[in-house]
Amino acid sequence: MPIFRPQRFVRVCIVFFVIFMSTICFKVYLKVSLIKKQTRDIIYNYQDDVSDNSTYTDYVAARIKDKMQTMRQILNIKSQIKNINLAQTVHNTRLGHFKSNLDSHVIVVLVHSDTYYFSQLLLSLKTAIGIKDAFIIFSHDYFSESINALIRNIKFAKYIQIFFPYSIQLHPNVFPGTDGQHCSEGYVCKKSKARDPEAAQSKQHWWWTVNQVFDNLNVTRSIKQFTVLFLEDGDFVTPDILYVFKLLKKVRLSHFTFCEVINLGAYDLDLSSYTKKTLVSVEIWTGRSYRSGIAFDRQTWNSLKSNSEEFCNHNDYNWDSSLRHVGFKKWDGNVYMIAIPGTRVIHIDKCGRTDDGCQEELKVKEVKKFIRSVRKGMFPRSYVMAANKVEDFDRTAAGFWEDVRDKELCMYFTTHSVWY
């Protein structure tokens, strides 16, 4: 039996004490140097945005307060997002549970920060016939109280909200936000403005969303057969969108299962395309149609997912052209779609910052007027098929997707379920 030796015990205690104290000292040192660095940054910025009336110390104090406040806000939003993403609350379940049939539509709405355009999309969805049987997934890349308030008022459909945890809003000065760096293979990083965080976010957000919806979201991941329709704020839908969606799903199932996607959105607003006997076409997805209004099912998803590397490594920040690229490389050389020439998703032109006198309300009015003028040709009763012969899709890549960190984050979403 070991003998208790007080001297040895004291020595062990001293060793532990020293280790403990030096750990604390090191942490304090790190904290102090962080604060020093922040103060240095602030002082450095002083020349840029000092106002005449504030003293130097006031300025520094105000900036530190600012930074602390931003940090607190981010932490606060992060914890809310975590709770919402984990709870996965489906709202309005009184409208019935999700059924896996042609009348039950799953709609994913990519929501950014524009409250006005988003409110217009909601108004149009509300008037869509059949919306009460739909299930809407709002996927946000921006946490906004006013947008959340709009969503809380929704009574017309079942819905769930999910929040992209790697948004620029939550990472203002570090990757995936703006860190002013560009990294190539092997994490060789240099100061550069070559990376556009907004552009990169649009592909990351979509890829994260589609992975979560098909594979990780509890309500949808176990449903074998369903088709997801993608919309975005800035879109405005027609009252017959779900009726036409169902029609195209049926036509695809019975004749054209080789078509990977369904497309409800065309670029052109063509009055003559809305007829009771409508044209339905099979064509190559060239990129000349709008990417909102694209829909695909789990089968296409599985095929896309098994080619994630093609998607994540393709140097194009547009998710739709990255998807077409996968089609080109791995499927039959193209992505085939079944489409309708009379668009059911209308994109509202946003007012540019330099557009003086441009009024959002007028743009929306124009769209509503267009929809009224084609009302008689909606809810088509029959269809004729046509194969549209067009050239292969344009293979030039738009770029803004070269940073190795973006490629890796994209692949990370493929292999991990990331909720916070």
222 in a labelled binding site: no
Q: Would you tell me how many other CB atoms lie within 10 Å of the CB of residue 372?
A: 9
Closest CA to 407 of 142, 213, 215, 187: 187
DSSP 72-101: HHHHHHHHHHHHHHHH-PPB-GGG-----S
What residue ranges bind ligand NAG (CB under 6 A)? 51, 53-54, 87-88, 218
Cβ distance to ligand NAG smaller for residue 53 or 254: 53
359 in a labelled binding site: no
Cβ distance to ligand NAG smaller for residue 165 or 172: 165
Tokens coding 194: 């070559």
What residues are paired with 67 via a beta bridge?
none
CB of 75 to ligand NAG, least distance (A): 23
d(CA 44, CA 244): 58
Q: Which residues contact 69 (CB under 8 A, 6 or more apart)?
A: none
Q: Would you tell me how many other CB atoms lie within 10 Å of the CB of residue 242?
A: 24
d(CA 320, CA 288): 11
141 in a labelled binding site: yes
202 in a labelled binding site: yes
CB of 88 to ligand NAG, least distance (A): 4
Cβ distance to ligand NAG smaller for residue 83 or 225: 83
CB of 97 to ligand NAG, least distance (A): 14
Closest CA to 410 of 206, 220, 139, 261: 206
Cβ distance to ligand NAG smaller for residue 88 or 148: 88
Cβ distance to ligand NAG smaller for residue 53 or 396: 53
Greatest alpha-carbon span in the chain = 98
CB of 133 to ligand NAG, least distance (A): 22
**Helix, strand, coil percent values for the chain (each to nearest 5):** 50, 15, 35
255 in a labelled binding site: no
CB of 333 to ligand NAG, least distance (A): 39
Closest CA to 270 of 125, 152, 412, 370: 370
Query: Measured between alpha carbons, how far is residue 86 from residues 210, 322, 411 in Å?
Result: 17, 29, 22
Tokens coding 332: 């039959």
Tokens coding 363: 């743009």
Provide Rg for the chain, Cα atoms. Answer: 26
Cβ distance to ligand NAG smaller for residue 79 or 373: 79
Amino acid at 111: V
Residues in the chain, overall count: 420
CB 218 within 8 A of CB 224: no
Q: 243 by DSSP, 3-state: which?
A: helix
Amino acid at 126: K
CB 407 within 8 A of CB 271: no
CB of 87 to ligand NAG, least distance (A): 6
240 in a labelled binding site: no
Cβ distance to ligand NAG smaller for residue 48 or 185: 48
CB of 239 to ligand NAG, least distance (A): 34
CB of 160 to ligand NAG, least distance (A): 10
Cβ distance to ligand NAG smaller for residue 202 or 212: 212
CB of 165 to ligand NAG, least distance (A): 16
215 in a labelled binding site: no
Cβ distance to ligand NAG smaller for residue 133 or 215: 215
- Binding residues for substrate, as ranges, are 141, 201-205
Binding site listing: 141, 201-205, 347
Binding-site annotation, residues for Mn(2+): 347
